[in-house]
């Protein structure tokens, strides 16, 4: 709602800083793990960017379900006019013009007018603008919104390969939200250094996967792929690479904070470097670290750059030592041919060893998940025996016998304790009853965590990004129970899941929860999904010590057995 208000204020031509205040508040609320509707006025006021006025507005909406200010604004500018802003190249000034002069109230009306050539002749609009608007409308009709990161990474890699092969590039890097490992990505940002920017641009806009060129200048170009994905590229010289990377990686909010700090110190930051304002002398910019160092801070990892406390932490020397992919010692959630995977155990061991892992857990589905050929008690015990036999032959590598046990829709577990006891590790997860009431689903997971043999809750919210919403659970209750019962929460690295999500990961960490970062691999190449898992973990400020499968084998087994022997079950 605050974003909509900001849009309307923008169309009205209101004070830009007031508009920014609404946007900043919206962004900060969006990244809150807590429901702001349940917060007191005092607590609301503590959220950065929310002062007396916005706190009162949130409160008003939480109490009455309405916001009078918003209702009043909508009388001035109909909701559909806000929608016009989603057309690329069409901003608030044009939206206002179209609404005032032609009474265009939504995208359909805009398309009609444009097709009939009735936009031409308005001040500042000629044939070119009209056709650009039509192109923009066609584009948002094809696809609007964001793509899951798993879809975007490979596209970015293709572009970078194409540039490396065909263009005179030095350094090359993804930037933007892709580099920050956000779970969904709007467009791909690529930064390169080159002494021949024009040449790079020519190669870029002529890559085979490019369908349309949105803009093309000497240092900055944007294209759209055949699939409708926008790719922005920026070329700078080597001595500006760091500054440009920082600028282009964002987030916008993080950059604004840095630049504000710079201004107070008599400095200026842009994509070319960090400068002394008075002398215009360049103080740095070849490396990202320059910017942070000159502002008096340690380097802040891209995943943290959301203006959600990382700058304060950096200034205080309290930044986390984020987990890295090389810290991962094994994958604890893997399927074999026995259920719905593609490989035999022996093949999986080979793949794991090439990854440098010290152990993996074999966790096929349990009997309740018949569609995935879940293992009967007999089959899982047979697999357990087989794993123990293989283990004897392995050197410097351990195989854990496990299961991804279904938490059935009535809340019971799919295997009895005397079966679970024989396995090395038990993951529990939900595959049915997604639409049950909040208390019911929460209770299913809580009671699974209260079982001493359940070490990990896999994909705890069941969401599939862009396809299926999370089921309705009381996350607070689940994270609290996880912490109390020494149950790890999975960060499922499957790119469509990324479940637990970054915001909750950070909250869980504050509650003392431990994590397992697992790929849920069903086929060999999915072992590579681990990077998405660590990316999400890093966005949640996770350190090596928070992660079960960053521990060595002995410590891992110690953690699992601690819960088993302690028996924290509520009786």
For the CB of residue 140, give the shortest distance to DNA in the complex, in Å: 11
Q: Is 131 helix (H, G, I), strand (E, B) or coil?
A: helix
Q: Measure the CA angle with vertex 386, ends 382 and 391; round to 5°.
A: 145
User: Does residue 291 interact with DNA by CB under 7 A?
Assistant: no
For the CB of residue 147, give the shortest distance to DNA in the complex, in Å: 14
User: Does residue 51 interact with DNA by CB under 7 A?
Assistant: yes
C-alpha–C-alpha distance, residues 116 and 101, integer Å: 16
For the CB of residue 432, give the shortest distance to DNA in the complex, in Å: 40
If 0-12 CB within 10 Å is exposed, 13-18 middle and 19+ buried, where does residue 551 land? buried
Using a CB cutoff of 8 Å and minimum separation of 24, what contacts does 119-122 make? 122/97, 122/98
For the CB of residue 30, give the shortest distance to DNA in the complex, in Å: 16
* CB-based contact 369:403 (threshold 8 Å): no
Q: How many residues belong to the site for DNA (CB under 7 A)? A: 61
User: Does residue 264 interact with DNA by CB under 7 A?
Assistant: yes
User: Does residue 364 interact with DNA by CB under 7 A?
Assistant: no
User: Does residue 176 interact with DNA by CB under 7 A?
Assistant: yes
User: Does residue 49 interact with DNA by CB under 7 A?
Assistant: yes
Report helix, strand and coil shares of the chain as percent, to nearest 5.
50, 15, 35
Other C-beta atoms closer than 10 Å to the C-beta of 356 total: 11
For the CB of residue 176, give the shortest distance to DNA in the complex, in Å: 6
User: Does residue 168 interact with DNA by CB under 7 A?
Assistant: no
User: Does residue 91 interact with DNA by CB under 7 A?
Assistant: yes
What is the helix (H) or strand (E) element at residue 224, kind and residue range?
strand 220-225
Cα–Cα nearest to 248, from 262, 233, 259: 233
User: Does residue 255 interact with DNA by CB under 7 A?
Assistant: yes
Q: Name residues whose C-beta falls within 8 Å of residue 556's C-beta, 6 or more positions apart in sequence.
A: 329, 330, 359, 548, 549
* CB-based contact 169:192 (threshold 8 Å): yes
Residue number with CB closer to DNA (232 or 424): 232
C-alpha–C-alpha distance, residues 17 and 112, integer Å: 34
Residue number with CB closer to DNA (106 or 543): 106
User: Does residue 20 interact with DNA by CB under 7 A?
Assistant: yes
User: Does residue 85 interact with DNA by CB under 7 A?
Assistant: yes
For the CB of residue 165, give the shortest distance to DNA in the complex, in Å: 23
User: Does residue 433 interact with DNA by CB under 7 A?
Assistant: no
* CB-based contact 387:362 (threshold 8 Å): yes
**Of the candidate residues 33, 48, 78, 166, the single one contacting DNA (CB under 7 A):** 48
User: Does residue 53 interact with DNA by CB under 7 A?
Assistant: yes
User: Does residue 215 interact with DNA by CB under 7 A?
Assistant: yes
Strands 454-457 and 359-365: unpaired
User: Does residue 7 interact with DNA by CB under 7 A?
Assistant: no
Residue number with CB closer to DNA (262 or 351): 262
What is the token pair recorded at 415? 């295997």
Strands 454-457 and 488-492: parallel
For the CB of residue 48, give the shortest distance to DNA in the complex, in Å: 5
Residue number with CB closer to DNA (50 or 521): 50
The residues in 185-204 that bind DNA, with binding defined as CB under 7 A, are 187, 189
Cα–Cα nearest to 2, from 43, 47, 33, 42: 47
User: Does residue 94 interact with DNA by CB under 7 A?
Assistant: yes
C-alpha–C-alpha distance, residues 560 and 204, integer Å: 51
User: Does residue 259 interact with DNA by CB under 7 A?
Assistant: yes
For the CB of residue 502, give the shortest distance to DNA in the complex, in Å: 21
User: Does residue 268 interact with DNA by CB under 7 A?
Assistant: yes
User: Does residue 93 interact with DNA by CB under 7 A?
Assistant: yes
Site residues for DNA per CB under 7 A: 15, 17-18, 20-22, 25, 48-55, 69, 85, 87-95, 123-130, 132, 176, 187, 189, 215-221, 230, 232, 248, 252, 255-256, 259-260, 262-264, 268-272
């Amino acid at each position: 709602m605050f974003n909509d208000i900001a849009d309307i204020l923008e169309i009205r031509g209101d004070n830009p800083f007031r508009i920014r205040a609404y946007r900043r508040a919206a962004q900060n609320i969006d990244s809150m793990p807590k429901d702001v509707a349940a917060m007191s006025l005092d607590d609301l006021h503590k959220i950065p960017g929310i002062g007396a006025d916005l706190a009162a507005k949130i409160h008003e909406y939480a109490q009455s379900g309405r916001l009078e200010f918003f209702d009043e604004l909508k009388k001035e500018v109909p909701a559909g006019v806000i929608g016009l802003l989603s057309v690329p190249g069409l901003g608030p000034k044009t939206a206002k013009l179209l609404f005032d002069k032609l009474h265009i109230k939504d995208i359909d009306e805009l398309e009609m007018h444009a097709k009939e050539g009735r936009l031409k002749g308005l001040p500042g609009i000629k044939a070119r603008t009209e056709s650009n608007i039509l192109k923009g409308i066609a584009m948002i009709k094809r696809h609007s919104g964001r793509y899951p990161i798993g879809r975007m990474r490979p596209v970015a890699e293709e572009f970078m390969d194409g540039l490396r092969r065909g263009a005179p590039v030095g350094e090359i890097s993804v930037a933007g939200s892709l580099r920050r490992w956000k779970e969904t990505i709007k467009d791909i940002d690529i930064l390169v250094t080159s002494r021949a920017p024009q040449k790079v641009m020519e190669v870029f806009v002529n890559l085979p996967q490019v369908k349309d060129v949105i803009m093309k200048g000497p240092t900055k170009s944007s294209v759209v792929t055949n699939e409708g994905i926008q790719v922005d590229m920026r070329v700078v010289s080597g001595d500006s690479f760091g500054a440009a990377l920082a600028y282009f990686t964002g987030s916008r909010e993080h950059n604004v904070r840095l630049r504000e700090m710079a201004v107070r110190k008599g400095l200026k930051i842009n994509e070319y470097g960090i400068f002394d304002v008075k002398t215009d002398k360049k103080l740095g910019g070849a490396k990202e670290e320059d910017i942070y160092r000159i502002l008096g801070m340690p380097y802040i990892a891209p995943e943290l750059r959301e203006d959600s406390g990382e700058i304060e932490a950096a200034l205080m020397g309290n930044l986390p030592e984020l987990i890295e992919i090389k810290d991962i010692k094994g994958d604890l959630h893997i399927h074999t041919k026995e259920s719905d995977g593609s490989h035999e155990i022996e093949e999986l061991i080979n793949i794991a060893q090439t990854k440098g892992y010290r152990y993996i857990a074999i966790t096929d589905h349990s009997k309740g998940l018949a569609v995935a050929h879940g293992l009967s008690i007999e089959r899982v015990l047979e697999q357990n025996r087989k794993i123990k036999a293989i283990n004897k032959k392995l050197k410097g590598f351990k195989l854990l016998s496990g299961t991804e046990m279904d938490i059935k829709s009535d809340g019971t577990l799919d295997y009895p304790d005397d079966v679970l006891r024989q396995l090395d590790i038990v993951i529990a997860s939900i595959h049915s009853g997604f639409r049950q009431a909040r208390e019911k689903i929460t209770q299913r997971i809580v009671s699974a965590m209260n079982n001493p043999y359940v070490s990990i809750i896999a994909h705890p919210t069941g969401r599939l990004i862009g396809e299926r919403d999370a089921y309705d659970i009381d996350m607070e209750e689940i994270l609290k129970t996880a912490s109390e019962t020494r149950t790890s929460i999975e960060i499922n690295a499957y790119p469509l899941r990324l479940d637990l999500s970054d915001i909750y990961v950070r909250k869980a960490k504050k509650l003392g929860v431990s994590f397992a970062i697992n790929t849920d691999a069903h086929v060999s190449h999915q072992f590579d999904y681990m990077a998405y898992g660590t990316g999400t973990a890093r966005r949640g400020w996770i350190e090596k010590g928070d992660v079960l499968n960053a521990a060595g084998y002995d410590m891992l087994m110690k953690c699992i057995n601690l819960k088993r022997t302690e028996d924290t079950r509520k009786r």
